[in-house]
Amino acid sequence: MKIDLTDTTASKINKALVKGRRAIGTPAVGMVLTLVVVTDEENAYDALKAANDAAHEHPSRTLVVIKRVSRSSRNRTQSRLDAEVRVGADAGSGETVVLRLYGEVSDHAQSVVLPLLLPDAPVVVWWSVDAPRDPANDPLGALSQRRVTDSYAAEKPVDELRSRAESYEPGDTDLAWARITPWRSMLAAALDQVSSEIVSAEVAGEESNPSVELLAMWLADRLHVHVRRAVSAGPGLTQVRLETTGGPITLHRSDGAMATLALPGQPDRAVALKRRETSELLAEELRRLDPDDTYASALRFGVDRLGGIQSAAERAEAAAAAQPTPALPVRAVSDTAPASAPASSGTASASSEQGDADRPTPAKMPPVKKADPQ
């Protein structure tokens, strides 16, 4: 059932929700949380579909906030709120309210959303695009216990990760982190099967993919070893290689669906490692409302060391200038801060050579022994 409301108020929207529930014969409210989706008109359909699919696992009241900018400067000062109320089969397993804010009311979205929140139920805010620099202090983010962003949707994902680290507050999370959950689980299970010392690691994936960056930072943070970030053609994450005293551990995925796990002294095995839809990632984040300390630790560990990978254009320019360019550019991610640079000679070439010399090598990184199983 759908109910369209034009130039309405929050009070009228609540009355429409009650009317819709009575019309379909379910007057009771059976939702477990309120999911606030902040998006734009271009991405509204995909965001709403993902939220409705996630609601099959977590029945919720979904409030979709779309800020509309009027083309005419005269209309930009005129406030208006339009709403589309969906209940029953049109809203999946919960209730959906699509809010379109015009004029000055778009600057006060929290005043519209607050009366529509379910009483005594947790609130989760998800920015599908254009997340604020500080989600916890955003007017809508301040209403929630959990704040979900997506660095992959940003124009500069690496800079977005840096912003997430600088403004992190307990309750923040990112869908780029949820994307590597199967990888982290697979690698943790693989390490339980070996007793060798881990010497170094390498993570390969698409350039400017935040999930690849987060996985590299997580490994460096947890293993305390030298981690290299390599660039590949993708899709997404393609390979993790852990060098141990007993031989390499490799998890390689080339097609975005199936991966090959290779352990020292064991036959290679095929494992399912499919790239997941946004609805699955969102459903995973809705399963927990407590702070994710592991995400916070990984995010803060390497954010100040991000960068250093040359883009394709930069590599082409370097080749044209007859400068040696590695076939697979890598960046070191270590658990120690880089040494302070000596005085510059005043030339660009000296600065470049000096930066390479200051990078720690695997030999400088102390190996970490796995704890013997009790």
The pLDDT of residue 8 is above 80: yes
Q: What is the per-residue pLDDT for 295?
A: 94
CA-to-CA distance for 35 and 31, rounded, in angstroms? 10
The pLDDT of residue 326 is above 60: no
The pLDDT of residue 265 is above 50: yes
The pLDDT of residue 373 is above 50: no
The pLDDT of residue 196 is above 80: yes
pLDDT, tens digit (0-9, with 9 covering 90-100), for 52-76:
999 888 889 999 999 987 666 666 6
CA-to-CA distance for 196 and 190, rounded, in angstroms? 12
DSSP state of 91: G
DSSP state of 317: H
The pLDDT of residue 309 is above 70: no
Q: What is the per-residue pLDDT for 46?
A: 94
> Stretch 223-233: mean pLDDT, rounded?
87
The pLDDT of residue 366 is above 70: no
Angle between the N-to-C axes of helices 293-302 and 210-223, in degrees from 0 to 180, rounded to the nearest 10: 100
CA-to-CA distance for 62 and 94, rounded, in angstroms? 8
Residues β-bridged to residue 84: 4, 98
CA-to-CA distance for 203 and 331, rounded, in angstroms? 10
Which tokens is 231 given?
């660039």
More confident site: 6 or 301: 6
Please answer whether residues 342 and 354 qualify as being in contact, where contact means their C-beta atoms are separated by less than 8 angstroms: yes
The pLDDT of residue 368 is above 50: no
> Stretch 348-365: mean pLDDT, rounded?
42
More confident site: 330 or 270: 270
Q: What is the per-residue pLDDT for 357?
A: 42
The pLDDT of residue 278 is above 90: yes
CA-to-CA distance for 124 and 36, rounded, in angstroms? 6
The pLDDT of residue 281 is above 90: yes
Please answer whether residues 253 and 270 qualify as being in contact, where contact means their C-beta atoms are separated by less than 8 angstroms: no
pLDDT bin (cut points 50, 70, 90) of residue 36 is: very high
pTM of the model: 0.78
pLDDT bin (cut points 50, 70, 90) of residue 31 is: confident
The pLDDT of residue 162 is above 60: yes
Q: Where are the alpha helices (DSSP H) in 85-198?
A: 109-113, 157-166, 175-178, 181-191
Q: What is the per-residue pLDDT for 28?
A: 59
Q: Among 130, 1, 17, which residue's Cα sits nearest to residue 63?
A: 17
More confident site: 351 or 294: 294
The pLDDT of residue 312 is above 90: no
Which tokens is 364 given?
């400088």
pLDDT, tens digit (0-9, with 9 covering 90-100), for 340-349:
333 333 443 4
CA-to-CA distance for 210 and 6, rounded, in angstroms? 40
The pLDDT of residue 77 is above 90: no
Instruction: Write down the residue that tokens 């990184």 correspond to.
Output: 365
Average pLDDT across the chain, whole number: 81
Q: What is the per-residue pLDDT for 240?
A: 94
> Stretch 220-240: mean pLDDT, rounded?
88
